[in-house]
Amino acid sequence: MTTYMRRKVLNNAGYVLAVVCVILAIIPLGAMIYYVLKEGGSDLTLNFFTQTPAPVGESGGGMSSQIVGTIILIIVASIIGLPVGIMSGIYLAQAIGTNRFASTVRFCTDVIAGTPSIVAGVVAYAAIVIPFGGFGAIPGGVALALLMFPTVTRATEAAIDLVPEAMREAGLALGLPEWVTMARIILPAARSGIVTAVMLGVARVAGETAPLYLTAFGNDVMTVSLKLSLIHI
């Protein structure tokens, strides 16, 4: 085989290998979706969304308390995590490039972003459950907020960076103070990016289980109070 033919065969073999790898990567996705739909699809009745779980051993019942619990936890986590995330994102976006403090904040955000979810749960447990006693939505919300806010910070900073500098300078040229240009010009321009940032943050924590194992585990009864234990889906 000439060198030319060998290189050509190698090229085509590489292409085939790449296609095989992509199929290998997509197969688990398809298998998982298929399995979840097949096993669980038949149970998605109206009961599922409106009834609380039946006692052990009986059939029927639903998951409404768990769904409500999930929503409550996401709301609590957002209340704690979103202001921190968005404000830090704004700070990082408008900080001078050589600012040492901004670099430190960015580094810390990245470190917290890499925290394993179980460690966030342990920290929330140690910080809130041990001193104050109760499990429930508040320590669970704190753990989720810890996981949520770095994502929101980074995405908010990216969204604000996308706004052209000319808009900010136009606002300043008109005599507006910095905070008015940020609030009235730049943030509305970055609005869709910030909404995406919030959605990314919520998506990050909506599926978390491990931190809630330690902080918010509880009962199946429908509870809306923040103090009582909730169970997460």
Partner 1 sequence: MHRCPPMEEASLTSRERVVPGVRLAPSRSDAAVLEKLVTSSTTPAEVRRPPHAVAASSNLGDRIYSALTTGFAGLVVAVLALLFVILVVQSRVSITRFGFSFLTSSTWDPSRNIFGAFPAIAGTIYTSLLALLLAAPIGLIVAIFLTELAPRWMRSTLGFFVELLAAIPSIVYGLWALFVLVPLVQQHVEPFFIGHFGNTALFSGYPIGLGFFTASIILAIMVLPTISAISRDVMKAVPGTQREAMLALGGTTWETTWKAVIPYARSGIIGAILLALGRAVGETMAVQMVIGSTTGAFNISLFSTGTTLPAQIVNQFTEATGSIYPAALIELALILMIITVILNALARLLIWRMNRRSA
| Residues in CB range of 159: below 8 A, 6 or more apart | 89, 190, 192, 193, 194, 196, 197
Q: Select the residue interacting with partner 1 from 47, 52, 64, 161 (CB under 8 A).
A: 161
User: Phi and psi for 207 in degrees, rounded to 5?
Assistant: -100, 10
x-or-dash string of contact with partner 1, 124-143, rule CB under 8 A = -xxx--x-------------
Q: Which is nearer to partner 1, 52 or 196 (CB)?
A: 196
User: Phi and psi for 16 in degrees, rounded to 5?
Assistant: -60, -45
Candidates 204, 201, 197; CA nearest to 93 is 197
Instruction: Render 69-105 in DSSP notation, one character per residue.
Output: HHHHHHHHHHHHHHHHHHHHHHHHHHS-TT-HHHHHH
Q: How far is the CB of 50 from partner 1 (least distance, A)?
A: 23
Q: Select the residue interacting with partner 1 from 24, 46, 57, 60 (CB under 8 A).
A: 24
Q: How far is the CB of 49 from partner 1 (least distance, A)?
A: 19
- Can residue 19 be called a binding residue for partner 1 (CB under 8 A)? yes
**What's the one-letter identity of residue 175?**
G
What are the beta bridge partners of residue 53? 61
- Can residue 188 be called a binding residue for partner 1 (CB under 8 A)? no
User: Please, what's the largest Cα pairwise distance for the chain?
Assistant: 77
- Can residue 147 be called a binding residue for partner 1 (CB under 8 A)? no
Q: Tell me the window of 8-16, 47-55, 58-66, 71-79 that interacts with partner 1 (CB under 8 A).
A: 8-16
Q: Which is nearer to partner 1, 72 or 214 (CB)?
A: 214
- Can residue 56 be called a binding residue for partner 1 (CB under 8 A)? no
Sign of CA dihedral 187, 188, 190, 194: positive
Q: How far is the CB of 56 from partner 1 (least distance, A)?
A: 19
- Can residue 197 be called a binding residue for partner 1 (CB under 8 A)? yes
**What CA–CA distances, in Å, run from 84 to 93, 151, 195?**
14, 11, 15
- Can residue 91 be called a binding residue for partner 1 (CB under 8 A)? yes
Q: Which is nearer to partner 1, 4 or 55 (CB)?
A: 4
**What's the one-letter identity of residue 70?**
T
Contacting partner 1 within 102-121 (CB under 8 A): 102-119, 121
Q: How far is the CB of 8 from partner 1 (least distance, A)?
A: 7
- CA angle, residues 208, 213, 217, in degrees to nearest 5: 115
